[in-house]
Structure 1
Amino acid sequence: MGAISIRDVVKRYGRGDKANQVIHGVNAEIADGEFIVIVGPSGCGKSTLLRMVAGLEEISGGEIAIAGRVVNHVEPSERDIAMVFQNYALYPHMSVFDNMAYGLRIQKVPVDEIRARVDKAAAILQLGPYLTRKPRELSGGQRQRVAMGRAIVRQPEVFLFDEPLSNLDAKLRAQTRLEIQKLHGELGVTSLFVTHDQVEAMTLAQRMIVMNAGRMEQIGTPEQVYATPATTFVAGFIGAPPMNLVSGRAEGTRFVLEGAELALPAPAPRDGALILGLRPEHTELQAPGSGWPFAVDTVEMLGAERLVHGRVGNAPFTVRVDATLAAPRAGDGLALRASPAHLHWFDASTQQRVG
């Protein structure tokens, strides 16, 4: 079956003292049939990690196994994987059917079986009416579905997706995300999906790997990563808008930061230099003097909700409020009430979660 083991995987470019290490000892165990999303900012190493699983990049250290077989030195064509790229990579002179069937013809699969596999994939992806068309006659979303169909007909152990939705507009991205979810539900094939879009990661993943500067910051379900971020990087990257992070000094139920002293609803896990994290939806605006002092700078209207941007002391802070409530105005001096159950604490030097 298509379980994937990534054990202490390292990637370096160059040799000796001048070697540039871009992947730093990544470890992950991916169960058969699991949908894993690798998410992180541009340049964090997520695509490099995917390409090492695919065999398109050599591994400098560690081990990758697919279906129990170590594949460090196995050619990409022999790893029983199928990859969907950002740029579709379709043959412009071939029909949709021929694009989907091409790999099977190279493998000398019988004609009847090719027809059956392509028809089945076309039905899953709603491509039946387009099988005789050329790629230039299709929309971007349809071309991406053809690229996915080409991967499906191979019936691989593992699907690898390298930012496949990046070229689509916002509406098509949302629609194609739903199609990928349905596709995985029907096929149940182990899948690795790379994206820089944290909303995409949260909506698609059964578990997600958050990458930063070549290191795996955290692996877990979207709910785990959102509710208990392991580091300040994860806290600031996952969530829209991101978690508020305020540096200061904890003294029991007091938190002293530049320009303010906050009364905490519960004691900090320890005294000393800490970073306090609080998501925008876990605070409430109140009348002045009834909580943490909050100076309003700007208000964003987002339909059903508003984002109120301001400052707690000298630290920037964002609050999410229901759009049915009266909107504050720039320059207002208000107060914040924080839920004790939703305070997050991080070490000021290591940036790691505390408690």
Structure 2
Amino acid sequence: MASIQLKNIVKKYGKGKAELQVIHGVTADIAHGEFIVIVGPSGCGKSTLLRMVAGLEEISGGEIWIGDRVVNQLEPAERDIAMVFQNYALYPHMSVFDNMAYGLKIKKMPIDEIKQRVDKAAGILELGHLLDRKPRQLSGGQRQRVAMGRAIVRQPQVFLFDEPLSNLDAKLRAQTRLEIQKLHRELGITSLFVTHDQVEAMTLAQRMIVMNAGNMEQFGTPEEVYHTPASTFVASFIGSPPMNLLKNAPGGKPGTILGIRPEHLDVRIEGWEVKVETVELLGAERLIYGRVNGEQLIVRVEEGTHSPAPDTIIHVAPRPDRLHSFDADTGKRIPG
């Protein structure tokens, strides 16, 4: 295990007038054994940041420390990391055992130790009964577990995951998330996990880095990011459905955007006047979509609550201790 320090990391492409900066001074301290998720929309720089840690992208500025070493100039093989990609990249002609053992054989490790490491990893990932099969005989979820097993047997200081669940269907993604959580509990290896899926981020992360256009918008626990978002971007990106952000909230202050999550609005006899547009049934809950002062508002209510008809008027009251204020010009959170 090792800590990771990102010190003012910058990434640029091109030179002169054609220069394009895509990562803008990211700084973060990651402790031994932490599981950190880097999350953000497509094109925000999250995979580029991960690839710089891996040594697959050159660093334009700043320092990356893994343990007690600056690794800016080190080749990927010298950084003591193991990476799991979206693409499983398994050798189709090799068995599961040989795929997992290949990197160790290249290092000329004794066969007994190779077998011990592969068997241990296969046990953790429940692959023991599949070691003789070829990749074509496996499901997508099993192939991804083999890719993770190949990383585990190397016993690296750091795991890097680049959207490893994107090729799986929803049920397999949920199952594999549980397996990754179990894997981290058992091995305790420092991990960076990139995803665009905020549900994955919230369920996997001990802490999360929220990226936006190459900037780190917030670095904190899932609870901190959800309950005290640092900006309107974080508030709108984290949470499903996202936080309501109102420029013209009843009683709101000029120059301030008022934020309130859908579950923190209560249907009452009195309160904000909302014209209902539609109601979405989601099993144990309902989402009421409407408008207040011309702006869209989403209200989450529990199953069994009366469903108002479209074009009717309801009244909702925000919970005062759950209101958020953001600067209308910068989008940044206003303390207090």
- One-letter code of the match for 2:167? N
Question: How many Å apart are 1:272 and its aligned residue?
Answer: 3.1
Deviation track 1:42-78 (CA, whole Å, cap 9, x = no partner) reads 0000000000000000000000010110000000001
Instruction: Find the counterpart in structure 2 of residue 251 from structure 1.
Output: none
Equivalent position SS for 1:309: strand
Find 1:284's aligned residue among 235, 247, 266: 266
Equivalent position SS for 1:272: coil
Q: Which consecutive unaligned segments of at least 5 residues does structure 1 have?
A: 249-254, 256-261, 265-270
Whole-Å separation in 1 of the counterparts to 2:144 and 2:308: 44
Asked if 1:183 corresponds to 2:183, the answer is yes
Question: How many Å apart are 1:17 and its aligned residue?
Answer: 2.4
Find 1:272's aligned residue among 233, 251, 254: 254
Question: How many Å apart are 1:21 and its aligned residue?
Answer: 0.4
Instruction: Find the counterpart in structure 2 of residue 340 from structure 1.
Output: 320
For residues 208-247 of structure 1, what are the structure 2 equivalents within 5 Å? 208-247=208-247
Instruction: Find the counterpart in structure 2 of residue 154 from structure 1.
Output: 154
Asked if 1:325 corresponds to 2:314, the answer is no
Equivalent position SS for 2:234: helix
Deviation track 1:238-267 (CA, whole Å, cap 9, x = no partner) reads 00000000113xxxxxx5xxxxxx247xxx
Whole-Å separation in 1 of the counterparts to 2:204 and 2:310: 37
Instruction: Find the counterpart in structure 2 of residue 310 from structure 1.
Output: 290
Whole-Å separation in 2 of the counterparts to 1:232 and 1:204: 23
Q: Is the 8 A contact 1:84 1:151 kept in 2?
A: yes
Deviation track 1:293-351 (CA, whole Å, cap 9, x = no partner) reads 10100110000000000101100010000111111111110111110000000000010
**Percent of aligned pairs sharing the same letter:** 70
Whole-Å separation in 2 of the counterparts to 1:19 and 1:45: 16
Question: How many Å apart are 1:286 and its aligned residue?
Answer: 2.2
Q: Which consecutive unaligned segments of at least 5 residues does structure 2 have?
A: none
Equivalent position SS for 2:247: strand
Instruction: Find the counterpart in structure 2 of residue 68 from structure 1.
Output: 68
Instruction: Find the counterpart in structure 2 of residue 47 from structure 1.
Output: 47
Asked if 1:17 corresponds to 2:17, the answer is yes
Whole-Å separation in 1 of the counterparts to 2:307 and 2:330: 38
Equivalent position SS for 2:255: strand
Please identify runs of 4+ aligned residues in structure 1 that moved more than 3 A.
Answer: none
Equivalent position SS for 1:174: helix
Q: How many residues align?
A: 335
Instruction: Find the counterpart in structure 1 of residue 203 from structure 2.
Output: 203
Whole-Å separation in 1 of the counterparts to 2:303 and 2:310: 16
Question: How many Å apart are 1:106 and its aligned residue?
Answer: 0.6
- One-letter code of the match for 1:223? E
Instruction: Find the counterpart in structure 2 of residue 85 from structure 1.
Output: 85
- One-letter code of the match for 2:259? G
Q: Is the 8 A contact 1:263 1:292 kept in 2?
A: no
Whole-Å separation in 1 of the counterparts to 2:272 and 2:118: 61
Whole-Å separation in 2 of the counterparts to 1:189 and 1:142: 22
Deviation track 1:129-161 (CA, whole Å, cap 9, x = no partner) reads 000000000000000000000000000000000
Instruction: Find the counterpart in structure 2 of residue 137 from structure 1.
Output: 137
Whole-Å separation in 2 of the counterparts to 1:327 and 1:315: 20
CA RMSD of aligned residues (A): 0.8
Relative to structure 2, which stretch is displaced further, 111-120 or 271-280? 271-280
Asked if 1:297 corresponds to 2:277, the answer is yes
Equivalent position SS for 1:149: helix
For residues 95-110 of structure 1, what are the structure 2 equivalents within 5 Å? 95-110=95-110
Equivalent position SS for 2:224: helix
Deviation track 1:260-303 (CA, whole Å, cap 9, x = no partner) reads xx247xxxxxx53110000000001123xx11110100110000
- One-letter code of the match for 2:3? A
Give the TM-score, by structure 1 length. 0.93
